[in-house]
């Protein structure tokens, strides 16, 4: 029988986002360049739409994240798993590639793979993405378990653009295939433009196109495992990124772009080239609606590195929202994290954002490894003293779900020195500190206090609901690994 697609590539729920996930589109363009037929779509968005207004939404979400079953929602959960399988096998593929953006997709992926094996055992299953490897106990325990249970045929670690093509061409010994040792793409400028042809754009509240300008990071933050994935910072030229944006804007009639980079301004020279080209393009447009707009993750640099002229050009380039990993409002904690900017640098950046109309999402860690009650009180005081930045430019403060100790990070390697004791669960936030006297319960209480203080001071606080379903369940003693 002739297959409709050699491979179907799909995102795996649950990812709490209203915009498209890029991985399938990026892989499709690489496969297409090598004459390999594929269908690449955002299954997460389709399932999210199904669940959004479902009467058992919370129960379904809790199952995806913790495997707890509400008997009332049991049939609905089964129907959703079958819906996912139906979407995949409707294209009659020989292969399916499942992309896990975060570890929160692991339970859904397990049930999806199991049901695929039941209904279409002839389809070969590949999984990949950062979410397939991030667990507290081991970098590859999840994929190894799936492989031993014959629920997958292959897993791909690291950058999948070259290894996916190699696997489709029969090179099963290519670095990164069924192996955690992989090779970085030599030159990001050589990657083809992502292909979003199979995406259903009606699913998204935020119609924007994701793209990659760099991989890795110029910082080496103590809590972050980016360097475990990319030991070398790589970047595209500003001209290459500008060319991609122009091409995608023309093809899909979408003028909002979102960088998936760890940071969009890692290479200051190429960043200036890009924002100059974008600013010139926007100035040439007769209508505001035809201008390019963009969002991305951004590092605050010292004032002598990111001057007011750079901020002005950033605004003219179409920067709408910058996600900034401030991590702490306490300067000495931030320096311990290895964030190389002072409180004065932070205030300057906020003043520039307010002056030039650039919104900022601040990412905040509540309960860092060295944070004491005194430090936490100082964080609350900073919020109180900086009410003037609420809304403009700070339109969101995301306070996460607590610090997780990721394998391979500086915190993990130095946990004995920091007197950190890991718990027995796979929940990455399950750790206690003899140094600071904090526990998961204390840090979650701090989290709630910060949330309320931000609201009181007219900021807009936010947290990832899916993370909190899992963490709250753990703290309440209802979550057991492997249940």
Hey, which bits of 243-402 come out as E strands? 256-259, 293-298, 319-327, 359-364, 394-398
The residue ranking higher by pLDDT, 25 or 103, is 25
User: What pLDDT, on a 0 to 100 scale, did the predictor assign at position 7?
Assistant: 98
| Confidence band for 21, pLDDT divided at 50, 70 and 90 | very high
| Confidence band for 140, pLDDT divided at 50, 70 and 90 | low
Per-residue pLDDT tens over the stretch 431-479 = 999 999 999 999 999 999 999 999 999 999 986 554 544 455 555 554 3
pLDDT at 3 over 60: no
Q: Which residues pair with 215 in a beta bridge?
A: 234
pLDDT at 288 over 50: yes
Q: What is the mean pLDDT of residues 399-427?
A: 87
pLDDT at 114 over 60: yes
Torsion of CA 161, 167, 170, 175, to 10 degrees: 90
Q: Answer whether 339's CB lies under 8 Å from 225's CB.
A: no
| Confidence band for 253, pLDDT divided at 50, 70 and 90 | very high
The residue ranking higher by pLDDT, 229 or 410, is 410
Check if 7-168 and 196-475 are the same fold.
no
User: What pLDDT, on a 0 to 100 scale, did the predictor assign at position 229?
Assistant: 66
Q: What is the DSSP string of 121-178?
A: TTSEEEEESGGGT--SS-TTHHHHHHHHTTS-SEEE-S-HHHHHHHHHTT-TTSTTBS
The residue ranking higher by pLDDT, 191 or 479, is 191
Q: What is the mean pLDDT of residues 283-293?
A: 94
Residue 483, classified by CB atoms within 10 Å of its CB into exposed (0-12), middle (13-18) or buried (19+), is exposed
Q: Which residues pair with 360 in a beta bridge?
A: 322, 394
Query: What angle separates helix 141-148 from helix 106-119, to the nearest 10 degrees?
Result: 20
User: What pLDDT, on a 0 to 100 scale, did the predictor assign at position 407?
Assistant: 79
Give the C-alpha separation, 75 to 68, whole Å.
14
User: What pLDDT, on a 0 to 100 scale, did the predictor assign at position 426?
Assistant: 67
Domain ranges of the chain: 7-168, 196-475
Q: Which residues neighbour 432 within 8 Å (Cβ) at sequence distance 6 or greater? A: 420, 421, 423, 438, 439, 440
Per-residue pLDDT tens over the stretch 262-278 = 889 999 999 999 999 99
| Confidence band for 134, pLDDT divided at 50, 70 and 90 | low
Give the C-alpha separation, 426 to 415, whole Å.
17
pLDDT at 481 over 60: no
Q: What is the mean pLDDT of residues 230-249?
A: 92
| Confidence band for 77, pLDDT divided at 50, 70 and 90 | very high
User: What pLDDT, on a 0 to 100 scale, did the predictor assign at position 242?
Assistant: 97
Strand pairing category for 431-433 and 420-422: antiparallel
Choose among 201, 218, 223, 151: nearest CA to 369. Answer: 223
> Residue 65 gets which letter from DSSP?
H
Per-residue pLDDT tens over the stretch 145-175 = 999 999 999 999 988 999 999 999 999 999 9
What's the 3-state SS for 77-97? Answer: HHHHHHHHHHHHHCCCCCEEE
| Confidence band for 102, pLDDT divided at 50, 70 and 90 | confident
Q: Which residues neighbour 228 within 8 Å (Cβ) at sequence distance 6 or greater? A: 139, 406, 407, 408, 409
CATH class of the 7-168 domain in this structure = alpha beta
User: What pLDDT, on a 0 to 100 scale, did the predictor assign at position 480?
Assistant: 39
Is cis: bond before 14, omega within 30 of 0?
yes
| Confidence band for 400, pLDDT divided at 50, 70 and 90 | confident
Least confident of 99-113, 128-142, 279-293: 128-142
- Per CATH, which fold does 196-475 belong to? pyruvate-formate lyase- activating enzyme (3.80.30)
Q: Answer whether 136's CB lies under 8 Å from 47's CB.
A: no
Percent of the chain topping pLDDT 70: 92
Backbone dihedral region for residue 35 (phi beyond 0: left; psi -120 to 50: alpha; all else: beta): left
Specify the 3-state DSSP secondary structure of 113: helix
Q: Answer whether 184's CB lies under 8 Å from 156's CB.
A: no
The model carries a pTM of 0.87
Q: What is the mean pLDDT of residues 108-133?
A: 96
Give the C-alpha separation, 71 to 86, whole Å.
23
User: What pLDDT, on a 0 to 100 scale, did the predictor assign at position 176?
Assistant: 94
């Amino acid at each position: 029988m002739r297959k409709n697609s050699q491979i179907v590539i799909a995102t795996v729920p649950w990812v709490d986002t209203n915009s498209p996930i890029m991985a399938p589109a990026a892989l499709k363009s690489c496969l297409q360049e090598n004459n390999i037929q594929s269908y690449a779509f955002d299954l997460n968005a389709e399932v999210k739409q199904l669940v959004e207004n479902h009467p058992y939404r919370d129960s379904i979400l809790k199952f995806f994240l913790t495997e707890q079953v509400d008997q009332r929602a049991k049939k609905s959960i089964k129907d959703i798993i079958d819906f996912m399988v139906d979407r995949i096998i409707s294209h009659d593929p020989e292969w399916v590639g499942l992309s896990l953006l975060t570890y929160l997709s692991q339970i859904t992926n397990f049930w999806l793979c199991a049901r695929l094996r039941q209904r279409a055992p002839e389809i070969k299953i590949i999984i990949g993405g950062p979410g397939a490897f991030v667990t507290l106990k081991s970098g590859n325990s999840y994929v190894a378990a799936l492989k031993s249970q014959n629920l997958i045929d292959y897993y791909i670690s690291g950058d999948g653009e070259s290894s996916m093509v190699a696997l489709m061409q029969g090179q099963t010994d290519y670095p990164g295939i069924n192996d955690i040792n992989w090779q970085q793409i030599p030159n990001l400028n050589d990657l083809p433009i992502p292909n979003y042809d199979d995406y259903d754009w009606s699913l998204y509240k935020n119609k924007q196109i994701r793209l990659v300008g760099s991989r890795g990071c110029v910082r080496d933050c103590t809590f972050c495992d980016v360097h475990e994935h990319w030991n070398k910072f790589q970047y595209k030229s500003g001209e290459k990124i500008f060319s991609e944006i122009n091409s995608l804007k023309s093809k899909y009639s979408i003028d909002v772009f979102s960088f998936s980079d760890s940071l969009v301004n890692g290479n200051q020279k190429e960043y200036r080239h890009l924002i100059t080209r974008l600013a010139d393009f926007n100035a040439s447009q007769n209508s505001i609606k035809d201008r390019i707009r963009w969002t991305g993750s951004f590092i605050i640099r010292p004032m002598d590195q990111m001057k007011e002229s750079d901020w002005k050009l950033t605004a003219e380039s179409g920067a709408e929202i910058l996600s900034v990993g401030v991590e702490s409002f306490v300067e000495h904690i931030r320096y311990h994290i290895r964030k190389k900017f002072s409180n004065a640098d932070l205030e300057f950046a906020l003043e520039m954002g307010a002056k030039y109309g650039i919104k900022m999402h601040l990412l905040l860690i509540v309960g860092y490894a060295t944070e004491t009650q005194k430090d936490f009180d100082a964080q609350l005081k900073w919020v109180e003293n900086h009410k003037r930045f609420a809304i403009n430019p700070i339109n969101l403060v995301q306070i996460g779900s607590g610090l997780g100790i990721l394998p391979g990070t500086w915190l993990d390697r130095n946990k004995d020195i920091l007197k950190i004791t890991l718990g027995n669960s796979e929940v990455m936030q399950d750790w206690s500190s003899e140094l600071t006297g904090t526990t998961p319960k204390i840090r979650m209480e701090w989290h709630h206090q910060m949330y309320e203080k931000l609201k009181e001071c007219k900021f807009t606080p936010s947290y990832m609901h899916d993370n909190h379903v899992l963490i709250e369940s753990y703290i309440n003693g209802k979550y057991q690994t492997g249940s």
